[in-house]
Amino acid sequence: MKKIRVLIVDDSAVVRQTLASILESDPQIEVMGTASDPFFAAKKIQNEVPDVITLDIEMPRMDGLTFLKKIMSQHPIPVVVISSLTAEGTETGMKALEYGAVEIITKPQMNTKQFLEESRIRICDAVKAAAIARIKRKQVNNLVVQPKLSADVIIPDAPITNRAMIKTTEMVIAVGASTGGTDAIQQFLQAMPVDCPGIVIVQHMPEHFTRSFANRLNDICQINVKEAENGDSVLRGQALIAPGNYHMLLKRSGAKYYVEVKEGPLVNRHRPSVDVLFRSTARYAGRNAVGIIMTGMGDDGARGLLEMKEAGAYTIAQDEKSCVVFGMPNEAIKLGAAEKILPLDQIAAHVIKFVSQVQTQG
């Protein structure tokens, strides 16, 4: 009998090896290959189409939900989602089923290898069930190109004279990133000292992903990291990450800063949008801020960074060599929005030095 050929897609080498061992132990299953992200998976599929794909959700370069949607709308292949982000009833799990996943297996964030080995029968059965499932092409209704809105729909532009120009003792670091940004933000935050200025971050991620991302960073960084909630204060030694599917704005009350988390239209086809965060930072922090635009596709954040610069903030763009995608920083550089262009591994040290000099000067 012909074996079921499986392609394993997961960014964790341990998970890939464990899943391969589990699946190969079943005489009806053969692992045709593994891939660390959807781009590598797509190349393998071009050469040989698997009978079943096992797919993680949280991966670099392209998330699993986006890849699943593309597969099911273009060339349907049975998919078993194996992820820590798909607990029963969560938005992510519901989306995976909506996009066409045959089965979902939720793995824990800790002791993943042990869990997978203990779930050997369930995993093999899920793959065998997927192999005989009737898969239909999914109609993707949201491929209609919507108007590309600017930050004006969330926070109207204002003359530079109306923006915050008064110097205060507290500074704010605003960071924007997209494709490749999870690793870039991790490297940046791990290098920040416990007494660093408050940090506000927009990373383009779907809803529910940002909380697990923030929690993971909180475990490995010296500073506190959390998914932002409406009204959270911007504090020294803490980074607030905009929740997926919500815009985050910096606001000011007296000499203290806080964030507003709100719904609204997509800006530059993103929610959260970097431009929204940067514009609000320009308005309410002015020259008390540092703006950093990191790796990412498109141009979200470029105009916002220019507004920050015009309001007196110090602005930095990640250089091309260290970017996964040199889109957002390049657009900002072309606008003249970046005062400094630096490789990723130098940004944190440069910011710390700049903030120290500013505070010394009073």
Catalytic residues: 178, 204, 300
CA 2/CA 145 separation, integer angstroms: 43
Tokens for 130? Answer: 């997927």
Give the largest Cα separation in the chain, rounded.
77
Across-strand partners of 31?
6
Closest CA to 173 of 295, 293, 67: 293
Give the type of residue at 212.
Answer: S
CA 212/CA 223 separation, integer angstroms: 16
How are beta strands 4-9 and 52-55 bridged, if at all?
A: parallel
Distances (CA, A) of 217 to 85, 109, 148, 246: 16, 13, 32, 20
- Residues 315 and 340: beta-carbon distance below 8 Å: yes
170 by DSSP, 3-state: which? coil
- Residues 57 and 104: beta-carbon distance below 8 Å: no
Closest CA to 22 of 99, 88, 90, 82: 82
Distances (CA, A) of 158 to 150, 164, 280, 311, 332: 14, 11, 10, 11, 20
CA 25/CA 212 separation, integer angstroms: 32
CA 316/CA 318 separation, integer angstroms: 7
Q: For the chain, what percentages of helix, strand and coil (3-state, to nearest 5) are there? A: 40, 20, 40
210 by DSSP, 3-state: which? helix
